[in-house]
Structure 1
Amino acid sequence: MKAPLVRLGTKAETLRRLRPLMTTARVLPLMHFTLREWQDGPDRLLAELRGHGWAAGPVMVRSSAMTEDTGTDSNAGRFRSVPARSEAEVVPALTEVFASYGRADADDQILIQPLLEHVQASGVAFSCDPNSGAPYRVVNWSGTDQTDAVTGGGQTELHISYGAAWAGQDEAPDPRVGAVWALLTELHGLLGERQRLDIEFAFSDRGELILLQVRPLAVRKAVLAVDTHRATLSDTAARMAEAIRPRSRVLGHRAVFGVMPDWNPAEMIGLRPRPLALSLYRHLVTDRVWAAARTRYGYRDMTGVRLMVEFSGLPYIDVAASLTSFVPREVPDDLADRLVGHWLDELVAKPYLHDKIESHIAVSAWTFSTRHRLEALTAAGFSAGERDQLAGSLRGLTNDLVRGPLWEQDVARLGLLNVIDIGHLHAAGCGAHDVGCCGPALVAQLDVCASYGSGPFAALARAAFIATDFLEDLVDEGILSLDDRARFIGGLGLVASEMRRDLAELDRPDFLKRYGHLRPGTYDILSPRYDETPERYFDWSAKDSLKPVPHGEEPPFELSGGQRRRVEALLVREGLKFDASRLMDFLATAIRGREHGKLAFTSVLSDVLTGARRLGERSGHGVDDLSHLDVRTLGALTGRPGDDGPVLRAAVTRGREAHAVSRTVVLPPLVTDPANVRSFALPQIRPNFVTQGRVTARVARIDAGDSPDGAIVLVASADPGYDWLFTRGISGLVTAFGGANSHMAIRALELGIPAVIGAGAALFDQWSQAHVLELDAAGGLVTVIA
């Protein structure tokens, strides 16, 4: 292997060594010295500084401590950099920077360079994925004139792009990103191919690329060979090309895949779920259940079409299939095909809507705002007759749904979930009441769960989405105020408020009997149930001091006489064949049914995971092993260790290998082309702000084990298993994934807690680095305070 030409040192030493060699970027002129040298001869050093022509103008006094930029800890942002716009400001700036070191070492250095002003863009870049060590070039930049726009963590628009190490510069999503790729390539040639790098850069107002800093990137993952990674991405692209081919009954002229649309897997099972969680989600929702629920409610029959696909273990929703399923079955094929194609084009043009396709792109029911949304189809070439045809189908579907018994039947069907006898489905020799006795018993439970749990839940989730649209329209029409909406949601007796009340009122055994099955990762066998580690989730000593739920103790919301008359007038205007009482009953029952339906069906799922753990233990396999199985393998286990051992060992090995591959692959949240495997930019996300509240509080990273009490809590994927957080007096909530109608959004609205739901990975990571945030939900703003 070729020896590196340049050895990394302190910030100042590295820049000095690179400066005469760089061709793809420029290193600004510099001067550096140690604390010892400054203490021994400050006048001499100041005279030397004055001798540099560039020092006649403003300069930047930068830190260059011995503890910065090491191979194990960068200490990035820990020490000060201070501008000095005149000679008189230099000494105070030096004093301030040295003071920021704390107990400075005599060999700690100061770096002085010309002050770089009027930049057109700046950012940081990594020569590998900092999370996995995979050979990607990751560029995080901002188009502002502040060189610390990215590193400072302020409120700014960030651009993040990924490019495989072997992708050509012309494949970069932006020419500036391509220039940074070329810079990283040159640095690897100078510093060594295996050196993982973290750099800071800026583009001057003339478009010149300036290298501001180079340091080793501290990544604890092993170096992944470029050839190995290239083969993995080639396989991923081939799988993607296969998935893009025309699919039976899926409409539209193009294929799009997303992690957030519809039954967003990013929120429910995460971006890289283990095989068991992935297969459970398929079994209970995305293989059959999702389509059956929508067909039942009058939508296009998608039975037999899988909603979710996976690329190297990363789950994606087939957006074309999803959008097809939102078309009423009465719409003719040619019109439906054009409509789905238009929706797909709109999503590709506005990728920031990938978590909002049901509210901002697809039109799947007739509410009080649908007329205006259909009018927007005129510009896309849909005739008045076609729009009327769509209107009639949507109006008829909505009338049938709200007036008919379907959603009430689904609520009743959920009530049967825990009384179905599955004893006759157990394998021979398997005890009927032992949930962990054999695989067939566990899969039988899953099938019952799909029929009487996740099935009706999926249907009620559709009804609840329509109900929420109606509710938002009532606010937009001025019939309900925001406070009315909050009182309506708060008076429904939803799970979060009931849990808070029950924690205060019930003794521990009774409380855990009702809620003990919940686990933060609903589909994740590695996630402990509430009743397995209750002290981890609940502060039993504080139960008497739980604050009353803001709206949960109030009687159910009722329309005033004037409000009721206005609603009746709207219903007549829109041609809807039900009255205000039926509408409000539908809104309440659908939203409440969805929340309680999730509580019900996850009880069975959680028991299955417990049974799987016990079954694995018989053959000497723990939960980590079992997390790498799939449902098919689980169903083949007999409960006899001698028979199950070889099956488990082989399946676990396959699952571990597959999951290891998934950890090295990064894809965009919205995939439109196999070329996305090699290079992509993350779309700008528009987060969903919930409530009108405003709060300033410390940040608690729940996945890192921080205490949530009184904090703004940050959770990447918060499904309803995180309801325990609402018993801990949190001040605010931020999630990376989720939509405006997600469970966590409803929970926050129910309890009046300011929240940002679906912030996206970039903002979520940025805010996770803060110590204190201000969350202004009404203003749609999050500010880093400290």
Structure 2
Amino acid sequence: MELYILKELLIKDPIIMVKLTNKGRTLKNLQDKVKYGYIAKPFIFSIKSWKKDSKKIISKIETLFDSKIIIRSSAWSEDNYNTSLAGFFTTVKNVDVKDKYKIQTAIEDVIESYQKIEQDLDKQEILVQKEISNVEISGVVLSRDISSNSPYFVINYEKGSTDLITSGFTKKPTLIKIARNIQIDNLSGNIKKIMQMTLELEAITNCQLLDIEFAVFENNIYIFQVRKISSIKRYDIKLDKKVFEAIKTIEKKFKSFSKPQHGLYGNQAIFGNMPDWNPAEIIGTTPKPLAYSLYDYIFMKSSWRNGRGEIGYYNPPHSLMANFSGKPYIDVRADFNSLIPKSITSTTANKLINYYINKLINNPEFHDKVEFEIVESCFTLLTDNFLKSLEKNGFDENEIDFIEKELLTLTNFSIKQSSQLDQIFKDRFELLDKVNYDLIINSTVKTIYNQCQTIAYILEVCIQNGAIPFSYFVRKAFIGLDILKSFLDIKVINKNEYNLIFSSFKTVTSILKDDLDALYSKKITKDVFLEKYGHLRPGTYDITSLNYKENFNIYFLEILPEIPKELYDKLPPEINLKDIHGKINNHLKKTKLEFSSEDLIEFIENSLQMREASKLSFSKSIDATLNLIEILGNSCGINRDDMAFIKIQNLTDFVSCFEEKSGDTIKKNISNNKKEFLITSKIILPHLIVNAEDIKFIRLEELKPNYITNETVIGEPIHLSSKTTTLPSNIEECIVFIENADPGFDWIFTRRIKGLVTKYGGAGSHMTLRCAELKIPAAIGCGEVIFDKLSQKKKIMLNCEAEIIKGII
């Protein structure tokens, strides 16, 4: 039975419809009609009757109830068909029914809370019920996802306390989203009971927009409140059906991809939107078609693996990103294949990939840290532990010895013997840096064919001289970071020393700050500054995001701000790494690694510098591509917002067919892509898809962020996006919240923010490294549960040492 279809409900008796009114009346009307839930007997009285004879009402309560009671608001404006004031009025729990004074005081407290909003006070009502305590779970179920108006049930619950119900919020919930076309027989336990209860209430109220508060007690579902979702006025059933069709297509695609694939080791596929190349961080979980296709075209087809292959990793002949109805997902199996030494035998490689996949399945909380916590991609101080684990998982001595040997060879080569390769790739991205994109764009004949041909040329140059070198240097940087992190993990160095190492590095972000200071002090001109950085934009692949040149006055200040006195102590001192080198060198002597601490730190700094420099170069190509696409759109009468819906393949196909196309063709492509994107925007998927059932049953857990520095800060949260055009005057006093840790947000580091929180981003992401370098307290990669909850607070405390982030107001 599909949950979505009301006529398939297992309700045999004729349904008597119940109209949603206020809290108490709705519950009373439902009490004798529900079979899949239980409603504690309600006693309802008006404030007018209370004023007339409060003693009589207290006496009635004493007669009706013999244990603890809960006294709740039941205002006519609170939970009716058109409005909801969840948590607005007072509720008093655990009232002793034998204590007249406590009953009277509790009722008067509820009445007092009505003064906030109610005009006709005498008409308002009070609801009294038996207190249900020691519940298994309590929570809220919604008939529909209110953030996207998508056809998903949303269950938000916590174990034990009913605080979620009475206060309108919870501290640490479990969040589950279930597609409305799921088969009810596939559910079990309390979730199945909750769904049966919800469907029955939808049928009885003739409403598929319900907000239901419940608790599970002694295997029964207790219903505390039923109201209409007031924030959704209507929904499109035809669009819902298209979403269900798309979900079925995703299920088929997942099952097809999960089969053994030629050129890929491993018996099972897993897909995630945050592992390694992390599309959730770079382009978001629901990118527009142009952003998706551009990232896919430049990196995910082959650049991602070609750079790694040069270091000595296996180069699997596969694309990395799977398209699940417009949602970007990393093929984790393919990713793991690219992180094993290429000389490992096929039998051992297959076993190794299966080992990694099973490890991730058993430890899904590491899905955004796979390169550090799941895969052993180089030799570190923790490799011995990894090798012992292989022994326990069926690897023989010869296999283990060979894996150890190959990891050692790859690591020593990367750090001590790859300088020639480094120079080759450095020459390539420096060549890219010299390209005069303005000249190329201005000299392009203004026909659709020629403009598309120029776009294809710029992208090919970007891939060869930008994307592949970046892939090479970013993998080398991860090798160095993984080794350095292992010294921290086994306590050879402490977190302060680890952070001190990063503070000693000089990367693009540091140079940008220096150049901005030079601009403010008039040592360089604005034109010189923008020539170097003007192409950067907070959404690197988003054509609607304004670059630094277009939005300079918002991203940067016109005059150099005075540094607050209290910040002087935070400016980095002159850094001496001598003692740290000594500790690391003493330990390196006990290993088979053939480099010193000085070699390692120099390697990490150089790799990070090359990674950031190559990124600065290839992002110029992307900016030029987006500028040319905007020009192309203007020539066809299409604005830049609409051009965000074109796919790169739509444009490159014009070149391959060798014929001129009209603007109407582009408009038709955009129209079709918009229809597809509308469906994409309604689909909800988990961060990690392990099996087909995960596609319809989505459990969203709180993620553990990557905390940077040991500092504690308190500040007002400010939410910035790639579309930000205004900033508060007190941004220096704020903790900045951004969804995607895109390098184009580097401008925020020129504003001396208190801290940074991102929804997506891993342990080795751009923003993680920048905050470590600049000693900015940060929580990178919180996930939507924490991020969405905290961004609504008035004050946030970020305690990086204790690894705590919470709202305090």
Give the TM-score, by structure 1 length: 0.92
Alignment of 1:459-478 (within 5 A): 459-478=472-491
Q: Please say which of residues 530-539 and 690-699 is displaced more in the overlay.
A: 530-539
- Specify the alignment match of 2:705 in structure 1: 687
Q: How do 1:707-786 and structure 2 match up within 5 A?
A: 707=728, 708-786=731-809
Q: Which residue of 2 aligns with 1:251?
A: 265
Check whether the contact 1:710–1:728 (CA below 8 A) recurs between aligned residues: no
Contact 2:140 2:165 in 1 (8 A): no
Aligned counterpart, 2:609: 592
Tell me the CA shift for residue 266 of structure 1: 0.9
Whole-angstrom CA distance in 2 between matches of 1:81 and 1:378: 58
Per-residue deviation, 1:564: 3.3
Match of 1:700 in 2: 718
* 1:94-134: CA deviation from partner (whole Å, max 9, x where unpaired): 33333334143224433222222111111111112223323
Q: Cα–Cα, structure 1 residues 724 and 62, in superposed 2: closer, same or farther, change >3 Å?
A: farther
Distance 1:229 1:22 in 2: 30
Name the residue aligned to 1:51.
63
- 1:499 CA displacement: 3.7
* 3-state DSSP of counterpart to 2:181: coil
Q: 1:328: how far off?
A: 0.2
- Give the 5 Å matches for 1:581-620: 581-620=598-637
- Match of residue 667 from structure 2: 649
After TM superposition, the structure 1 stretch with the greater mean CA deviation from structure 2, 505-514 or 344-353, is 505-514
User: 8 Å contact 1:436–1:613 — kept in the other structure?
Assistant: no
Of 545-554 and 285-294, deviating more is: 545-554
8 Å CA contact 2:163–2:170 kept in 1: the answer is: no
- Give CA deviations for 1:431-487 in whole Å, capped at 9, x if unaligned: 59x999712212211221222222211211111111111222233454433223222
Displacement of 1:366 in angstroms is 0.8
CA distance in 1, matches of 2:584, 2:62: 77
The one-letter amino acid paired with 1:733 is L
CA displacement at 1:636 relative to structure 2: 5.2
Equivalenced residues, count: 774
Cα pair distance change 1:136/1:154, threshold 3 Å: closer
Secondary structure (helix, strand or coil) at the match of 1:783 reads: strand
Over 3 Å counting, the alpha-carbon distance change for 1:210 and 1:476 in structure 2 is: same
Aligned to 2:174: 159
Matched residue type, 1:440: Q
Post-superposition offset of 1:539: 4.3
Question: Which has the larger displacement, 212-221 or 651-660?
Answer: 212-221
Would you say the 8 A contact 1:330–1:393 is kept in 2? yes
Q: How big is the shift at 1:246?
A: 2.1
Residue identity matched to 1:652: I
Distance of 1:357 and 1:513 partners within structure 2: 37
Q: Deviations 1:515-534 (Å, cap 9, x if unpaired)? A: 33222211111222222223
- Equivalent residues of 1:493, 1:552 under 8 A apart: no
Instruction: Pick the aligned partner of 1:141 from 135, 157, 166.
Output: 157
Matches within 5 A, 1:270-669: 270-302=284-316, 304-403=317-416, 404-405=418-419, 406-420=421-435, 430-431=444-445, 438-507=451-520, 508-540=526-558, 543-545=561-563, 554-555=573-574, 557-560=575-578, 562-635=579-652, 643-669=661-687
| Matching residue's letter, 1:118 | N
Corresponding residue number in structure 2 for 1:14? 26
Give the match for residue 25 of structure 1: 37
Q: Deviations over 1:37-96 (max 9, x none)?
A: 4444433433332332x2x43222223333323556533233332225233223333333
Structure 2 segments unaligned to the other structure (5+ residues): 1-5, 8-14, 521-525
Structure 1 contact 699–772 (Cα < 8 Å) conserved: yes
Distance 1:386 1:588 in 2: 34
**Residues 1:500 and 1:146: Cα distance change in structure 2 (over 3 Å):** farther
Shift of the alpha carbon at 1:779? 1.4
Residue from 117, 124, 129 that aligns with 2:133: 117
> 2: distance between equivalents of 1:748 and 1:69?
46
- Residue 361 of structure 1, CA deviation: 1.0
Relative to structure 1, is the Cα distance of residues 73 and 362 closer, same or farther in structure 2, using a 3 angstrom cutoff?
farther
In structure 2, what is the Cα distance between the partners aligned to 1:408 and 1:485?
A: 28
The letter for the 2-side match of 1:47 is S
- Which amino acid in structure 2 is aligned with residue 120 of structure 1? E
1:421 Cα shift? Answer: 6.7
**Cα distance change of structure 1 residues 30 and 397 upon mapping to structure 2, 3 Å threshold:** same
Instruction: Give the Cα separation in 2 of the matches to 1:541 and 1:46.
Output: 69
The match for 1:171 is 186
Quote the sequence identity (%): 28
Q: Once structures 1 and 2 are overlaid, which stretch shifts more, 282-291 or 535-544?
A: 535-544
Which residue of 2 is the match for residue 62 of structure 1? 72
User: What secondary structure, in the 3-state scheme, does the structure 2 residue paired with 1:247 have?
Assistant: coil
Per the TM alignment, residue 255 of structure 1 is displaced from its structure 2 partner at its CA by: 1.1
Answering whether residue 684 of structure 2 is matched by residue 672 of structure 1, we say: no
Q: 2:327 touches 2:680 (CA, 8 Å); kept in 1?
A: yes
Alpha-carbon distance in 2 for matches of 1:71, 1:270: 35
**Contact residue 257 and residue 318 of structure 1 kept, 8 A:** yes
Going from structure 1 to structure 2, the CA distance change for 1:40 and 1:528 (only over 3 Å counts) comes to: farther
Deviations 1:309-342 (A, max 9, x none): 1111111110110001111011111001100011
* Aligned residues of 2:259 and 2:267 also touching (Cα < 8 A): no
Structure 1 unaligned regions, length at least 5: none
SS in structure 2 at match of 1:506:
helix
Flag the 1:572–1:598 CA change in 2: closer, same or farther, 3 A. same
Q: CA deviation at 1:598?
A: 2.3
Q: Which amino acid aligns with 2:581?
A: R
Name the CA distance, whole Å, in 2 between partners of 1:21 and 1:278: 50
Paired position in structure 2 for 1:264: 278
Say which SS state the counterpart of residue 497 (structure 2) adopts: helix
Alpha-carbon separation, structure 2, partners of 1:79 and 1:16? 20
Structure 2 SS opposite 1:686: coil
Distance change in 2, residues 1:230/1:103 (3 Å): closer
